[in-house]
């Protein structure tokens, strides 16, 4: 059993107790947050299941790890997992949908407030001996456009409503009752971009959403609006965002994620005063870490003890193969 995420690196906790009680020997990679294919292949030698971080699971990795049966993500993103490949290899991929959505929502609101109230620049200017009291932008009465209304988007919506923001959302399969109850107007992407003072991204990174925010979509955003991305860096074409910020078309951006992570120190977005950045910390706080660790460990224990963790398995097509394998293992144990 391999535990990869850096926040869980050699950390005791209920997740470790749960796995050891199920009979697993706990191992860790050579270093926390391994990310390369070579490191992943080395660490998976003799491993049956992983609590996964951001390491890749592709055809080459899976071919080198024949014992691997479960990849349980401490989180919800699966953009570094080749779902076709893991399904072909009979590997179950599980996520922790209830683990960090509130943490991401809190981080999103922190970015919205910081951008609107110019907190970073005000803090710096006061420390430099300045005392500039220029009126700032409110959140109340402004329009927030949520691109994606899943667990995270809905969590942001209820928090933004408490600040008396007007809410728009673009979602392929919306919860209509939730939207009605919280006065969220469901619109298409073009309408959202044209009307929102703040646009916040809450969709997964897929072939369809990669580069969703590009020169064309940025041009359709309301002049003087803000972009916040706490989802995945690949949703945004960074060079196009840079141009929109430098031209003044956008007033600012809050970025917790980048196309390449860690983002290089020479990323030109980091030079801009109107860009607020954090190191992919949106879903990371002490409570969410514990919740994700427990749920990811629980997914593994459920699977090896014959329970299917409904709502957590991403590649449900592997269920039949998994059930057949379990029956064969049980038969072999009886015959032995």
Q: Quickly list DSSP for 167-224.
A: EEEE-SS--HHHHHHTTEEE--HHHHHHH-SEEEE-----TTTTT-BSHHHHHHSPTT
- Catalytic, 210? Answer no
How many residues in the chain? 336
Please identify which of the residues 280, 290, 307, 325 carries the catalytic annotation: 280
Pairing label, strands 250-255, 70-73: unpaired
Calpha distance 128→110 (Å, rounded): 24
Phi, psi of 143 (to 5 degrees): -105, 125
Lateral strand order in the sheet of 70-73: 2-3, 49-52, 70-73, 92-94
Q: Which residue out of 15, 69, 151, 232 is catalytically annotated?
A: 232
Annotated catalytic residue within 210, 261, 290, 326: 261
Task: Classify residue 42 by its DSSP letter.
Answer: H
Distance CA 204, CA 237 (A): 15
Active site residue 30: no
The reply to whether 249 belongs to the active site is no
Q: Which residues are identified as catalytic?
A: 232, 261, 280
């Amino acid at each position: 059993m391999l535990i990869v995420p850096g926040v869980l690196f050699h950390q005791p906790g209920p997740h470790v107790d749960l796995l050891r009680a199920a009979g697993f020997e706990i191992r860790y990679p050579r270093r926390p947050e391994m990310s390369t294919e070579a490191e992943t292949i080395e660490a998976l030698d003799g491993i049956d299941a992983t609590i996964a971080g951001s390491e890749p699971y592709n055809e080459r990795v899976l071919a080198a790890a024949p014992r691997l049966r479960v990849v349980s993500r401490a989180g919800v993103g699966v953009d570094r997992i080749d779902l076709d490949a893991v399904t072909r290899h009979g590997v179950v991929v599980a996520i922790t949908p209830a683990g960090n959505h509130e943490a991401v929502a809190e981080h999103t609101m922190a970015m919205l407030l910081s951008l609107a109230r110019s907190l970073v620049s005000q803090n710096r200017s006061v420390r430099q001996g300045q005392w500039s009291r220029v009126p700032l932008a409110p959140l109340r009465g402004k329009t927030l456009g949520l691109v994606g209304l899943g667990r995270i988007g809905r969590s942001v919506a209820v928090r933004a409503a408490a600040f008396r923001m007007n809410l728009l959302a673009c979602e392929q399969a919306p919860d209509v009752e939730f939207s009605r109850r919280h006065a969220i107007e469901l619109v298409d992407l073009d309408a959202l971009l044209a009307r929102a003072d703040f646009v916040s991204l809450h969709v997964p990174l897929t072939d369809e959403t990669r580069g969703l925010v590009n020169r064309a979509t940025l041009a359709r955003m309301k002049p003087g609006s803000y972009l916040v991305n706490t989802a995945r860096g690949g949703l945004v074409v960074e060079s196009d965002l840079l141009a929109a910020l430098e031209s003044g078309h956008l007033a600012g951006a809050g970025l917790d994620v980048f196309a390449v992570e860690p983002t290089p120190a020479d990323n030109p977005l980091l030079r801009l005063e109107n860009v607020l950045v954090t190191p992919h910390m949106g879903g990371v706080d002490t409570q969410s870490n514990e919740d994700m660790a427990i749920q990811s460990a629980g997914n593994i224990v459920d699977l090896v003890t014959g329970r299917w963790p409904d709502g957590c398995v991403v590649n449900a097509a592997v269920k039949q193969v998994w059930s057949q394998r379990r029956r064969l293992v049980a038969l072999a144990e009886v015959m032995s």
